Amino acid sequence: MANDLQTSEYNDWIKQLKSKIHTARTKVALSVNSQLLELYWEIGKDIEEKQKMSNWGSRFIERMSIDLKHEFPEIKGLSRRNLYAMRQWYRFYSIKFQFVPRSVAQIPWGHIY
């Protein structure tokens, strides 16, 4: 049996399996990134709309950050600074381009802000 595992057939098969695993992991990472960007877009849009329609003042984003971090302590991207960045990102792209969230989700977050 041990000698059978040294054949080129086995080695080729293992190489193919490793490639499939690498490909699947990349697809998962890209899918997660896409979903996060769509969420960030929606959060930025919601913040922008609420600021225009409500009289909550300028500190509501700080309060929003506290409330969201309390509910989702495992998520690190809900700081006041990041929420402002989401709003700025939404403002910039929604004014300059006719993007829809699906199109925006194709851009890596690190290249956006």
More reliable by pLDDT, 97 or 2: 97
In a domain, 2, yes or no: no
Residue 1 belongs to a domain: no
By residue range, what is the domain housing residue 78?
A: 7-111
Number of domains in the chain: 1
Averaged pLDDT for residues 18-40 = 92
- The mean pLDDT of the chain is 85
Is 64 inside any structural domain? yes
> What is the arithmetic mean of pLDDT over 15-26?
95
Residue at 62 is within a domain: yes
> Would residue 67 count as lying in a domain?
yes
Asked if residue 39 is part of any domain, the answer here is yes
The per-residue pLDDT for 4 is 67
Print the SS3 string covering the chain: CCCHHHCHHHHHHHHHHHHHHHHHHHHHHHHHHHHHHHHHHHHHHHHHHHHHHCCCCCCHHHHHHHHHHHHCCCCCCCCHHHHHHHHHHHHHHHHHCCCCHHHHCCCCHHHCC
Residue 61 lies in a domain: yes
| 61-73 pLDDT tens trace | 999 999 999 999 9
